[in-house]
Amino acid sequence: MNTSRAWVSVCVLVGLLAGTASALVVDTVPVGNAGNVGELSGRGAGGYGPDRICGSVAYDYRIGKYEVTAGQYAEFLNAVAGTDTYGLYNTNMSRTNFGSGITRSGDGTIGNPYTYSVASEFTNRPVNYVSWGDSARFANWLHNNQPTGAQGLSTTEDGAYYLNGATSDAALLAVDREADATCAITSEDEWYKAAYYKGSGTNAGYWDYPTSSNSGPGRDMADASGNNANYYGKPFPIDSPYYTTVAGEFQNSESPYGTFDQGGNVQEWNEAIFPSPPIPKRGVRDGSFDDDGRYLHASNRTGIYPTHETYFIGFRVSTVPGPAPLSASLDILPSDDLNLFVPNRKGKGKIPMAIFATKEVAAEDIEPTSILIAGVISPLKTSTDKDVDGDGLVDLVMHFSRRDLIDVLSLDAYRAGGVVEVTVTAVRVGDDWPIEAMDSVVIAAFGD
Does residue 55 sit in helix, strand or coil?
Answer: coil
Distance of alpha carbon 100 from alpha carbon 103, whole angstroms: 9
For residue 185, being part of any structural domain is answered with yes
Same structural domain, 164 and 226: yes
Task: Judge whether 322 and 180 are in contact, CB under 8 Å.
Answer: yes
The CA angle 29-32-35, to the nearest 5 degrees, is: 145
Same structural domain, 351 and 431: yes
Residue 338 to residues 161, 176, 439, 442, Cα–Cα distance (Å): 46, 48, 11, 7
Percent helix, strand, coil in the chain, to 5, is: 15, 25, 60
Phi and psi, residue 20, nearest 5°: -145, 155
Query: What does the pLDDT profile of the chain (448 residues) look like in tens digits?
Result: 333 333 333 454 332 223 334 589 899 999 999 999 999 999 999 999 999 999 999 989 999 999 999 999 999 999 999 999 999 999 999 999 899 999 999 999 999 999 999 999 999 999 999 999 999 999 999 999 999 999 999 999 999 999 999 999 999 999 999 988 999 999 999 999 999 999 988 999 999 999 999 999 999 999 999 999 999 999 999 999 999 999 999 999 999 999 999 999 999 999 999 988 888 999 999 999 999 999 999 999 999 999 999 999 999 999 987 666 777 888 888 877 777 877 765 656 888 888 888 877 888 888 877 888 877 776 677 788 888 888 888 888 888 888 887 877 777 667 777 788 788 888 888 667 788 888 888 887 655 4
Q: What residue type is 44 in one-letter code?
A: G
Same structural domain, 334 and 416: yes
Same structural domain, 286 and 339: no
Cβ neighbours for 171, distance < 8 A, ≥ 6 positions apart = none
State the pLDDT at residue 344.
Answer: 66
Residue 145 to residues 29, 56, 107, 124, 266, Cα–Cα distance (Å): 19, 29, 27, 22, 26
For residue 301, being part of any structural domain is answered with yes
Does residue 189 sit in helix, strand or coil?
Answer: helix
Q: What is the DSSP secondary structure assignment for residue 343, as one 8-state letter? A: -
Same structural domain, 114 and 214: yes
Alpha helices by DSSP H, listed for 106-149, are: 132-143
For residue 169, being part of any structural domain is answered with yes
Owning domain of residue 426: 326-443
Distance of alpha carbon 221 from alpha carbon 214, whole angstroms: 20
Same structural domain, 313 and 332: no
For residue 20, being part of any structural domain is answered with yes
For residue 247, being part of any structural domain is answered with yes
Same structural domain, 13 and 152: yes
Decide which of 274, 299, 322 is a domain's last residue.
322
CA neighbours closer than 13 Å in the CB half-sphere of residue 205: 6
Decide which of 270, 287, 322 is a domain's last residue.
322
Residue burial 369-407, b: 16+ Cβ < 10 Å; e: rest? ebbebeeeebeeeebeeeebeeeeebbbbbebbbbbbbe
User: Which CB contacts under 8 angstroms, 24+ apart, belong to 408-417?
Assistant: 408/373, 408/374, 408/376, 408/378, 409/373, 409/374, 411/341, 411/343, 411/441, 411/443, 412/343, 412/345, 412/446, 414/343, 414/443, 415/443, 416/443, 416/444, 416/445, 416/446, 417/442, 417/443
Cβ neighbours for 38, distance < 8 A, ≥ 6 positions apart = 53, 54, 55, 56, 189, 192
Relative to beta strand 376-377, strand 326-332 is: unpaired
State the pLDDT at residue 349.
Answer: 80
DSSP string, 3-50: ------SBSS-SSB-TTSSBPP--BEEEE--TT---EEESGGGTSSSS
Task: Judge whether 272 and 187 are in contact, CB under 8 Å.
Answer: yes
For residue 448, being part of any structural domain is answered with no
3-state SS string for 155-186: CCCCCCECCCCCCCHHHHHCCCECCCCCEEEC
Decide which of 268, 296, 322 is a domain's last residue.
322
For residue 127, being part of any structural domain is answered with yes
Same structural domain, 352 and 293: no
Other CB atoms within 10 A of residue 347 CB? 16
The CA angle 250-126-133, to the nearest 5 degrees, is: 140
Same structural domain, 158 and 265: yes
Phi and psi, residue 370, nearest 5°: -95, 0
Same structural domain, 318 and 332: no
For residue 380, being part of any structural domain is answered with yes
Task: Judge whether 272 and 18 are in contact, CB under 8 Å.
Answer: no
CATH code: domain of residue 103:
3.90.1580.10
The CA angle 433-438-443, to the nearest 5 degrees, is: 150
Same structural domain, 23 and 120: yes
Number of domains making up the chain = 2
CATH code: domain of residue 386:
2.60.40
Same structural domain, 337 and 396: yes
